[in-house]
Amino acid sequence: MEMKNNNVSFRAEIIEKGNTDFIFLYRRVGGINELIHSQPMPECYSELDDWISQLPPRAQFAVFYAIQENIRSLGITIRLAEIIYRNTRGK
């Protein structure tokens, strides 16, 4: 998700590498994309809250949106796995 703040916009994405999810935060200024932060997804909400609270408001929203999209994607994956399990259990 890209959020604009005057000529500055932020985009965050969560990517799984191995068994770890990583958060990547990008800033775009004047047509130039820059990776400004990357880290493994914190293991607890308090660590995540501490990190997010240090970001500018628009960057915070981009991270929240990326997390929401990641949760939605995981939910779809779980539903598909349940359907596959039900359909193959009787065979």
Q: How many domains, in total, are found in the chain? A: 1
Sheet strands side by side (includes 20-29): 2-5, 8-17, 20-29, 32-40
| In the predicted structure, residue 5 carries a pLDDT above the cut 60 | no
pLDDT tens-digit map of 13-61:
999 998 899 999 999 998 899 999 999 998 888 898 999 999 999 999 9
| In the predicted structure, residue 91 carries a pLDDT above the cut 70 | no
Specify the pLDDT at position 45.
Answer: 82
- Quick one: pLDDT band at residue 90, thresholds 50, 70, 90? low
Q: Domain range spanning residue 64?
A: 2-89
The rounded distance, in Å, linking the Cα atoms of 48 and 39 is 11
| In the predicted structure, residue 76 carries a pLDDT above the cut 70 | yes
pTM above 0.85, yes or no: no
